[in-house]
Amino acid sequence: MRKILTAILAMAGTWGAAQVATYSSVTDARLQNPEAGNWLMYRGNYNNWGYSPLNQITAANVARLRPVWAFSTGQTEGHEAPAIVNNGVMFITAPMNKLFALNAATGQLLWKYERELPDDVVSCCDVVNRGVAVYGDMVYMGTLDAHMLAFNAKTGKIAWDRTIEDYKKRYTITSAPLLANGKLITGVHGGEYGIRGFLEAMDPKTGKSLWKTYTTVDASYPAGSAAQGGAPTWLTGSYDPATKTVYWGAGNPSPWMDPRRKPTDDLKWSSSVLAFDVNTGKIKSGFQYSPNDAWDYDGVNEQIMFDATVNGKPIKAMATAHRNGYLYLFDRAGGGVTYKGAHEYVTNTAYKGLDASGRPIWDPQHRPDIGKQVNACPSFLGGKNWQPAAYSPQTKLIYIPSNEWCMNIKGAQTKYAAGEAYVGAEFELNPVPNLGYVGKLQAVDPVTGRQVWKQTWQAPLWAGVLTTGGGLVFTGNTANRDFMAFDARTGKQLWSFKTNSGIVGTPISFSVNGKQYVGVFSGYGGAIPLWAGPMAQLTKDTPRGGVFWVFAVD
């Protein structure tokens, strides 16, 4: 019966309620300078700002923000994707690789695709998808069974379907690909299963591979272990057209702890940010946040690029709020990654600090090992996980959706077997003592590390952040189900709306026919219910079900 049903759904992959009458082809020039009314890529622009220049909705009128349409996906798992909007056509993705094309002004369904996934697909942290990329007249989506799909944007018909890796070894794709310099680039997920991370570029017209670069280095791992060494590239990177450099993060080593490792094994390039030549895939430079990591402090979090003045000198800056609780600042001149400093943005007990080069100084009392249990902050879910921070060119602040939590963690013996979990650790989360909250949205100066304002919630914060030209910051919370707007300069909450579920989505803003809208998924799920243990109890009553909400001022 399931095969009959999924066959029907597969047929519906090219099903369309209404054709896309006109579609604006997406070019490299448009991606480099996206129009204010569109949202053409994962974070709105190559700099990963999460910023919309639209300014019709302001502190003066945001109290009049009302829902204008909503769309239910029929799925009850975590909904984390931002929408992509191209001149009135919206693309949203739901868990289990559902893809919908909608009229962005009315919510009318234009076409949809529902993938027939193998029964034995496994992903560590829910069956989420974090969106699509658009280029030419095509739409691109990575899948849980490690395929890359290209769709005709007008009809939903599949143009090509390419296997990227073997899903039975637990390679999956959960995040949006990146279009850069005419290349379709994707990373892979699977760091808890002993995959070998890589970044791959394809011809967007055919899917043909152009280059593939692995993110583990044999000489930096114990002999023979780099081939199952992790360093997955599971979140979307950024792109600097001036230097033709793609910046992309790499995740934890596999397993988290391994008795074969010496303290001097850095396990490069796990827990790192890397600079790739967009044309060749060659690694030009890199920085490792957590050499020989034992806490699952991934390095995948988004790189936010901007111009800054440091010690009186202008630099091409790049900042990232890392899982280990530090906000890093780099100089990316010439396509490099030069460390300029870091500041704690949440509680960290795992390190005594960072040395002058940015290398962590471990605190032995808080470093786990095989059979050795410790308590360490932040937890393996990080001071910030995948949920993207945002930057405002108006305030020059970064708005970080963060969490204050710790963990008891102990190393455990494990042995690699293809397709089996390869973690090597036991853990349980706990709150930071005497704080009284976990979730924290904070505005931080990325150069000085100064916290300008914060808002806190008892439950974890797992939604992305949007900044706008109207001087506003938008995000959502989990247990309270609120979608909220804040004054970007003061942090004062100006508006909220109670949605159907907890929000773990990524808000965007767009315009159609001159009218500004704000949209976000509400649909609780993701890693917290699966991995947060006692901390997940803070969201145990949050209802499930994915709905994309669109708001406008009445």
Euclidean distance between CA atoms 391 and 466, whole angstroms = 8
Euclidean distance between CA atoms 229 and 268, whole angstroms = 9
Contact 491, 443 (CB under 8 A): yes
3-class state of residue 468 by DSSP: strand
Q: Positive or negative, the Cα torsion across 88, 106, 502, 391? A: positive
Contact 354, 295 (CB under 8 A): no
Euclidean distance between CA atoms 265 and 532, whole angstroms = 29
Residues 6+ apart with CB under 8 A from 40: 26, 30, 31, 34, 84, 85, 86, 134
Residues 6+ apart with CB under 8 A from 266: 220, 288, 291, 292
Dihedral angle of Cα 142, 143, 145, 151, to the nearest 10 degrees: -80
Question: What number of CA atoms fall less than 13 Å from residue 142's CA on the CB side?
Answer: 32
445 is catalytic: no
Question: What number of CA atoms fall less than 13 Å from residue 375's CA on the CB side?
Answer: 8
Contact 300, 250 (CB under 8 A): yes
Catalytic residue among 240, 296, 298, 482: 296
Contact 296, 252 (CB under 8 A): yes
Residues 6+ apart with CB under 8 A from 395: 443, 488, 489
- Helix/strand/coil (H, E, C) string of 306-331? EEEEECCEEEEEEEEECCCCEEEEEE
Q: Write the DSSP string, 34-67.
A: --TT-B-STTSSTT---EE---SS-TTTGGGEEE
Euclidean distance between CA atoms 209 and 202, whole angstroms = 4
Which one, of 83, 79, 81, lies nearest residue 39 by Cα? Answer: 83
Contact 93, 101 (CB under 8 A): no
As annotated, the active-site residues are: 296
